[in-house]
Structure 1
Amino acid sequence: MSDNIIAVIIGIVEGLTEFLPISSTGHMILVGALLGFEGEKASVFEVFIQLGAILSVFILYRDKFLAMLRPRTLNNFGGSLTAMHVLAGIIPVMGLGYLLHEFIKTYLFSPYTVIIGLIVGAILMLVAEKISQRPVTNDVDKMTIKQAFFVGLFQILSLWPGFSRSGSTIAGGLFLGMSRKAAAEFSFIIAVPLMLVACVYDLMQIWNKLSVDDFAMFAIGFVVAFITAYISIVWFLRFLNNSTLASFAYYRFGVAGISYYYFFLR
């Protein structure tokens, strides 16, 4: 299979799964193993195309991001989402992620650990749907700094591949009295600075392993990830207006079961 076809396939997987509660990292590890696309080049590619997914969120929420950069919003905690909310949501996972970065990359990037993450993350989502009360925060602009911080604590779970960053943060939001849509939007917004920092850090470590010949493959993956991520976000927000996370949880169980059979039983 040519590199360009692999770029399209993995770009679609990244774009469709990055912001849905099904774990993009887990899916890319599994799909990469299925395609035989592994190693240093694959690692760089998978990090790089996440920038395409990040760009889709920035374009969709550009007004909110630009508002956060205006000085008048930095001390406004009552009327809109601020930079302080974003900081509160990303500091916990950034700190722990930095400390555990090498351990996670060395020991947790495998089909087996992804399967565990898919199952446990699905259970968390079902529990959140079961015990969450009527939401008191229906608009992301109305969430508190305290809610942002505790959602950030739930996001730490996503350091385990397969758990899903959006799945853990949305479940956390439900536990904290947020609506599904508000929790999802906050999850998308805090993903931009968090993923940007993580991607730049990873790329600085391994960028020198690429050659000019890889440019076409990386460009294709970036564009495909951007387009599919944009579409998936718009669809997901509409889906959450009338549906729960249960279908995604059951999907995760299915992927875990199929993956376990493929990698360990056949």
Structure 2
Amino acid sequence: MDPILLIKAALMGVVEGLTEFLPISSTGHLILAGSLMGFTGEAAKVFDIAIQTGAMFAVIWEYRRRLIGTVAGVAHDPVAQRFVRNLLIAFMPAAVLGLAFGKVVKLHLFHPVPVAMAFIVGGVVILFVETWHRRRYGERDLQGTRRARVESVDDMTALDALKVGCMQCLALIPGTSRSGATIIGAMVFGFSRQCATEFSFYLGIPTLMAAGAYSVWKERAALHASDLPMFAVGLVVSFFSALLCIRWLIRYVSTHDFTVFAWYRIAFGAIVLATAWGGWVSWSA
């Protein structure tokens, strides 16, 4: 295996792990980083999706006590049963639409310029929602001076799960951000900021692990045994970088909002568009 390729895989793993749970789009960053490094092609697209599984293992590790307790109690504990039910409900919309339109989305939108445009639009949406959230709940307590309707994932109804699941479908558009769509959408639906963030973590487990497995299976003809070291490096690096990000983000949302990420998205998207249209950077698919 080419050591340069392994270095690129490690860098892509860092990008995935540090961006998967922030509202800035890991897929968008992977597409842009891959374009800059010349890490492109069908195998690279499968790699981008597959290494998200490493980030999901970080969630499983960080919340292992809750998840083990849920598995142990799912046969008799109503709270565990409701949690599993809500995850399945929230997972289904993106699973159905992903199967129906995933190929079309990859063909037309997995390119730097559409990603940059989605970055900007998503940043504007986050600014709008954060402004609305502050007006409704006040400045002193970022979770709300008035109690949010849904303070914990255990307070969620099936309808709450369906709403968040529908918001996750927006993440089929690369550059939108799965975590951003679910967290910001959940806040609009009355979730506290921390509850929205935590449920986004949990929802990513079935969503991204299923997407990774399906992508590898579907594109298996484009992969070779020699690609295994590249995938292994990406998975391991994404796991450790995601673990650091999860722990940091949980602390961050207790005292901050997402405005800084909105301005980052807008600025980054504008730079990509300017460099593309000005011909300063040759962005490739």
Cα offset for 1:80? 8.2
Do structure 1's residue 178 and structure 2's residue 191 form an aligned pair? yes
Distance 1:263 1:167, change over 3 A: same
Report runs of 4+ in structure 1 exceeding 4 Å deviation: none
Residue 156 of structure 2 corresponds to: 143
- Equivalences for 1:170-249 in 2 at 5 Å? 170-249=183-262
Q: Distance in 2 between matches of 1:38 and 1:116?
A: 20
Q: Distance in 2 between matches of 1:177 and 1:18?
A: 23
Cα offset for 1:206? 1.6
Cα offset for 1:209? 2.5
Q: Distance in 1 between matches of 2:98 and 2:44?
A: 21
Residue 153 of structure 1 corresponds to: 166
Q: For each residue in 1:54-97, what CA deviation from the matched residue of structure 2 results, as whole angstroms up to 9, or x when unmatched?
A: 11111112233233332123xx25x8851111012111111112
CA contact (8 A) 1:44 1:207 kept: no
Residue 53 of structure 1 corresponds to: 55
Q: Distance in 2 between matches of 1:158 and 1:113?
A: 13
Query: Structure 2: which amino acid aligns with 1:26?
Result: G
TM-score, normalised relative to structure 1: 0.93
Instruction: Give the match's secondary structure for 2:219.
Output: helix
- Equivalences for 1:22-33 in 2 at 5 Å? 22-33=24-35
Residue among 36, 39, 44 paired with 2:38: 36
Q: For each residue in 1:169-208, what CA deviation from the matched residue of structure 2 results, as whole angstroms up to 9, or x when unmatched?
A: 1111111111111101101101101111111111001223
Residue 128 of structure 1 corresponds to: 129
Instruction: Give the match's secondary structure for 2:125.
Output: helix
Larger displacement relative to structure 2 (135-144 or 218-227) = 135-144
Cα offset for 1:48? 2.2
Larger displacement relative to structure 2 (205-214 or 177-186) = 205-214
Please give the root-mean-square deviation of Cα atoms over the aligned residues, in Å. Answer: 1.7
CA contact (8 A) 2:124 2:266 kept: no
Q: Distance in 1 between matches of 2:45 and 2:103?
A: 14
CA contact (8 A) 1:19 1:233 kept: yes
Distance 1:80 1:171, change over 3 A: farther
Unpaired segments of 5 or more residues in structure 1?
none
Unpaired segments of 5 or more residues in structure 2?
138-147, 281-285
CA contact (8 A) 2:93 2:169 kept: yes
Aligned residues: 263
TM-score, normalised relative to structure 2: 0.87
Cα offset for 1:214? 2.3
Do structure 1's residue 253 and structure 2's residue 266 form an aligned pair? yes
Instruction: Give the match's secondary structure for 1:82.
Output: helix
CA contact (8 A) 2:75 2:81 kept: no
